[in-house]
Structures are given as C-alpha cells and as structure tokens.
Amino acid sequence: MMKKIILFFAFISISHLAISQDMATITFDSLTIDYGTINKGDDGVRQFRFTNTGTADLTITNVRSSCGCTIPKKPEMPTAPGASDIIEVKYDTERVGPIRKTITVASNASNPMVALKIKGEVVDPAKGEEQNPIE
C-alpha cells in the first residue's frame, strides 16, 4: 500500500514537471494605450504588441472589449516561442468624450487572462475643442 502511495505522488510530481516545462507565456510591451486627446473622426486604430516568452506555442482564444465602441482583433495563427505579434484595437472616434475601456485577452498562456486598457479623450473640433497639431 505504501509503495502505491509513493508511486502515485512520484507520478503526480513528474507529470506536473513535464506540464510546466512547456508553457506559453504572453508578455505585452504595455498593458495600456493612451490615445491622448484626439479629434472626432480621427484614426482610432492602435496596436498592443506582445511576445511569447514561454516555451510552447501561444494561442489567443478570445479577445473581447468592455463595449461595442471598441473592436479588438486577435491573431489567427499561434505565436511561436520567442516570436511577437499584435492585437489590434479600433475605437469608434465618432463618440466624443473620455475613453476608458478594457480589452480582455484569453489564451493558453501560463497567465491565461490579461486585461488591457485604452484611455484618452475624443474632442469635437467643430465645437472649438480641436487638439493642438503635433509638429
């Protein structure tokens, strides 16, 4: 009986070690994108860059936003260990006002759920709120 218990725990330990050796890990360059102050109708597309810092292929299974005004787009193919890719986010800049949204990324990584943030403010130049042009 004691041998069976020892063998069981040895099997569990070896299985856990084997599983933990090959894991994907998603590491983002930044968890927040600041749009700053942008004009109504400006380009609302931004990119979150990430790298698979793990040892197995990374598959992003789902990307969703906290509202319909933000449309995220996930990579279609797995990301190999050491490789980088992007999650594209498009905010509807026809909506004037502050931007405070969350994009949730689900994957097979060791950190399976990651929350990304976008922030900023959309102003309407027709109402005298135009931002200062960047030179």
**pLDDT higher than 80, residue 25:** yes
The answer to whether 55 touches 21, Cβ cutoff 8 Å, is yes
**pLDDT higher than 80, residue 85:** yes
The confidence band for 65, taking pLDDT boundaries of 50, 70 and 90, is: very high
**pLDDT higher than 80, residue 5:** no
Residue from 109, 99, 91, 90 nearest 50 by CA: 109
The confidence band for 36, taking pLDDT boundaries of 50, 70 and 90, is: very high
Domain ranges across the chain: 2-125
Which residue type, as a one-letter code, is found at position 42? D
In the CATH scheme, what architecture does the domain 2-125 have?
Sandwich (2.60)
pLDDT at 133: 47
Q: How far is CA 8 from CA 14, 19, 20, 76, 101, in A?
A: 10, 16, 18, 40, 47
pTM confidence score: 0.78
pLDDT at 135: 38
